[in-house]
């Protein structure tokens, strides 16, 4: 089984910025800020997970991060924002992980850019196969 790492590099109210790496592929990530693993408002805990393909009503065939403590349906999908909505920021996630070509700014908020293409390229690169996923924090 292939291994993929996500390194969280910076955390603030506009999201948790990181980088996803596997042999031969890398991209940027954006998740919600850490809010004690609270459902719909927090990133998930750092740790080791298994990721598998699932059928999502909203996203179609997509990667699903399994066995996240006290959470369900944590997906890796396309989107731009992952800010704390209680502080006035936009979000496209309820705990999921966004991928993009780079970190940037959209409408004066931190975002990942070119997300749909990157998610599609990542899934094709991984051949839609399950993988071991390790989330680590560099701060």
Domain presence at residue 43? no
Q: What is the mean pLDDT of residues 50-61?
A: 95
- Give percent above pLDDT 90 in the chain: 99
Asked if residue 129 has pLDDT above 90, the reply is yes
Q: What is the pLDDT of residues 13-41, one digit of tens each?
A: 999 999 999 999 999 999 999 999 999 99
pTM of the predicted model as reported, rounded to 2 decimal places: 0.97
Closest residue by Cα to residue 114 from 97, 96, 100, 124 = 100
Domain presence at residue 116? yes
pLDDT of residue 31: 98
Cα distance between residue 126 and residue 70, in whole Å: 27
Asked if residue 139 has pLDDT above 90, the reply is no
Closest residue by Cα to residue 65 from 90, 98, 26 = 98
Asked if residue 44 has pLDDT above 90, the reply is yes
Domain presence at residue 99? yes
Own/partner contacts of 65-70, CB < 8 Å, gap of 24 or more, are 65/97, 65/133, 68/44, 69/37, 69/45, 70/37, 70/39
Which domain range does residue 17 map to? Answer: 2-38+48-137
Q: What is the mean pLDDT of residues 54-65?
A: 95
Domain presence at residue 114? yes
Look at the chain and report how many structural domains it folds into: 1
Q: Name residue 113's beta-bridge partners.
A: 102
Domain presence at residue 81? yes
């Amino acid at each position: 089984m292939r291994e993929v790492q996500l390194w969280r590099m910076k955390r603030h109210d506009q999201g948790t910025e990181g980088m996803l790496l596997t042999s031969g592929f890398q991209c940027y990530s954006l998740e919600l800020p850490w809010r004690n693993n609270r459902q719909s408002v927090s990133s998930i805990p750092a740790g080791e997970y298994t990721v598998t393909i699932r059928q999502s009503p909203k996203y179609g065939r997509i990667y699903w991060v399994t066995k996240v403590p006290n959470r369900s349906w944590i997906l890796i999908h396309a989107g731009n924002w992952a800010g704390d909505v209680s502080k006035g920021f936009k979000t496209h996630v309820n705990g999921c992980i966004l991928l993009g070509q780079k970190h940037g700014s959209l409408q004066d908020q931190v975002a990942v850019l070119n997300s749909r293409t990157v998610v599609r390229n990542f899934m094709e690169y991984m051949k839609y196969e399950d993988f071991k996923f390790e989330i680590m924090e560099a701060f």
